[in-house]
Amino acid sequence: MKLLALIAAALPFLCSSTFAHAAQQQSTAAATTIATTALVSVNLLPMDTDRIVRNQTVLVENGKIVAIGSAVPIPKNARIVNGHGSTFLSPGLADMHVHSDTTGDMQVYLANGVTTVLNMGGASSGFMDQVRPDMNRGKIAGPHFFAGFVVDGSPQYGQFVVATPEQARAMVGLAKTNGYDFIKVYNNLSPASFQAFIEEGRKQHMAVIGHGVTRVGLERQLDAGQILVAHAEEFLYTTFSHPDKENAGGSGQMNSAPDPDEIPPAIAFIKRNKAFVTADLITYATIASQWGKPEVVERYMHMPEIRYLSPDRRIRWGSDGYTKRQGDLSARVEFLKRFIKEMAQADVPLVTGTDAPTIPGLVPGFSLHDDLRALEAAGLSRYQVLSAATRTPGEMIHRSVPGAEPFGTIKVGNRADFILSAKNPLDDLSTLRTPLGVMANGNWYAEPELHALLDQVADKYDNAFKH
């Protein structure tokens, strides 16, 4: 309680600056942009296939890859990043389910090697108008930022409410005008409104992503054209059956797991529609770990990376409702592990996502590495895991966002988003937790600069308690 009181006292200080002011404050690491960078003597993980190409040079100009090879001419004015033949260059990571819209969170993502995020709801107009454009141009330190506009059919979950198909069609135009890339549908939409979003989104080139809509169901949603399921666990609520479903009440949570025999039909309709699924295993596992256990959240409040979580978010973690629930979700966590593994084996296009920082225990950036570890522990190969965090997000954005720069593989013409690591990630994914350098939005951040980004965030939050 003492910690929460201190945080509450600090909030006015943290909230006093406007988004416009934040947009003008570049990190020292991003203050100087050099047009041409040559990464030489690196071992390349292109992520187009499961392979390594050794001793390569990658030439970047104005944020794009312009040449790759073993004997690439290097312009005289280029910044040289020397990999010494022993380091490994792989695509930057993507977290395709976040709820962050602060410059502090963006710095933390970047310092963790996350070079692309998809905000799945709650990005403010101030951030979208004043911060995102500069960040995507490399003027502010952070990942490349995509955003979904969330809509629902009731105010139950605090989203924008759409009651009619006419309102749905108008909302697509409004979201597009304000720079959002996707329409994210939520649980309580009516079937008619959902269909209107699909049809109008197709006309205006705004793809539909999101939850399972209770009155539609994921099979019908994907058949209609929804391209991404925002959580693997959404199938628990609108696809799979449960022996104790009648006891679920309003929580949507049951103690039992579905029958594994229901997995193949679900995979069949996902593949039929070439849809993407967010393999957010760490999200549901973290929820399950604190289900009815306030002591678990208390432990989260003392983990080292809490320094990089904003004070207002710490308050919300402390008052979250998962600890007040009853039951045991462990059987369902095991089912999701099996479901995700079988989807990977069937070549369902999986993307990584975390829901950070809305779920207690999931700190921006750090939690994505936890998701990679959880997916590997569930039985996915390291190449499958890394594909879900690089190549497949790039494929999803390429397919759904007109004009978006290609990314997710290291290929001439692609956006230059990289992680330089000491070890081969295909031997040890944990090497990505401690990058030697990161390139994002045209800027190169060496390891000391990445640490400086984290220190800036931690110092800002620490200083808040002194005022």
pLDDT by residue (tens digit) across 209-235?
Answer: 999 999 999 999 999 999 999 999 999
Q: What is the mean pLDDT of residues 42-67?
A: 97
CB atoms within 10 A of CB 44: 21
pLDDT by residue (tens digit) across 240-286?
Answer: 986 555 444 344 455 789 999 999 999 999 999 999 999 999 999 99
The pLDDT assigned to 256 comes to: 84
- The torsion angles phi and psi of 75, rounded to 5 degrees, stand at -60, 150
pLDDT at 162 over 70: yes
Find the range with the poorest average confidence among 190-194, 316-320, 339-343, 408-412: 316-320
Predicted TM-score of the model (pTM): 0.92
Q: Where does the pLDDT of residue 340 fall: very low under 50, low under 70, confident under 90, or very high at 90 and above?
A: very high
- The torsion angles phi and psi of 181, rounded to 5 degrees, stand at -100, -25
Question: Helix axis angle, 311-318 relative to 2-14, nearest 10°?
Answer: 140
Whats the size of the chain, residue-wise? 467
pLDDT at 15 over 50: no
The pLDDT assigned to 234 comes to: 97
**CA 183, CA 192: separation in Å to the nearest integer?**
15
Closest by CA position to 258, among listed 285, 276, 239, 280? 239
- Please provide the average confidence, as pLDDT, over all residues in the chain: 91
Q: What is the mean pLDDT of residues 438-456?
A: 97
Total domain count, the chain: 1
Find the range with the poorest average confidence among 169-173, 255-259, 365-369: 255-259
pLDDT at 6 over 80: no
pLDDT by residue (tens digit) across 124-160?
Answer: 999 999 999 999 999 999 999 999 999 999 999 889 9
Range of the domain at 219: 2-464
CB atoms within 10 A of CB 251: 11
pLDDT by residue (tens digit) across 373-431?
Answer: 999 999 999 999 999 999 999 999 999 999 999 999 999 999 999 999 999 999 999 99
Question: Helix axis angle, 281-290 relative to 330-345, nearest 10°?
Answer: 170
- Give percent of the chain above pLDDT 90: 85
CATH number at residue 417: 3.20.20.140
The pLDDT assigned to 442 comes to: 86
Q: Where does the pLDDT of residue 13 fall: very low under 50, low under 70, confident under 90, or very high at 90 and above?
A: very low
